[in-house]
Amino acid sequence: MSYDSAMPRKRHLESRIPSLHTLLNEANRRATADLRRVVGAKGVPVEFWRVLEVMADERGRSMSELAEEAGMQLSATSKLVDRMTDAALLQRSVDPEDHRRVILHISDFGLEKVKALSGDVRRQRSRLEAQFSSSREKQLRELLADFIRAQHRASE
């Protein structure tokens, strides 16, 4: 008899309860899949939509500002902006105050995409939010915002 087979297997209750990381990942995966169905139907990748939605206010942003507001890593944002510029959704211009910096702007074509998709995205979000009572939705938003702030503080 081997040592492993002689030892009783311990079953930890913790191993049956999904970790917070697992739950957040699954929630993100499902919400992103729903959004992908909506925006993907019009040929817009979810990653493009997230940037377009931030840029739709037509306020120019630096690459780092966009990364922060879109909740993305700077390196990923830079690559994504390259693709979106090639697709004529975003434009770059030189910062008039600091010629070493680039300011990003949404293009007219990008604004057209936002206008074409906004209603569908709003309906998709309403369906998602309708799965909870208003108090539970508020509680979920607060918990997620608290989690994000805590993670931000921990990384400083």
Domains defined along the chain, listed by start:
19-155 (1.10.10.10)
At 42-75, the pLDDT tens digits run 999 999 999 999 999 999 999 999 999 998 999 9
Half-sphere exposure of 112 (CA within 13 A, CB side): 6
Tell me, yes or no, if the pTM score tops 0.85.
no
Per-position b or e across 46-69, b if 16+ CB within 10 A of its CB: bbbbbbbbbbeeeebbebeebbee
The first and second tokens of residue 29, run together, are: 């995966």
The percent of residues in the chain predicted with pLDDT above 70, rounded, is 90
At 109-129, the pLDDT tens digits run 999 999 999 999 999 999 988
**Average pLDDT across the chain, whole number:** 89
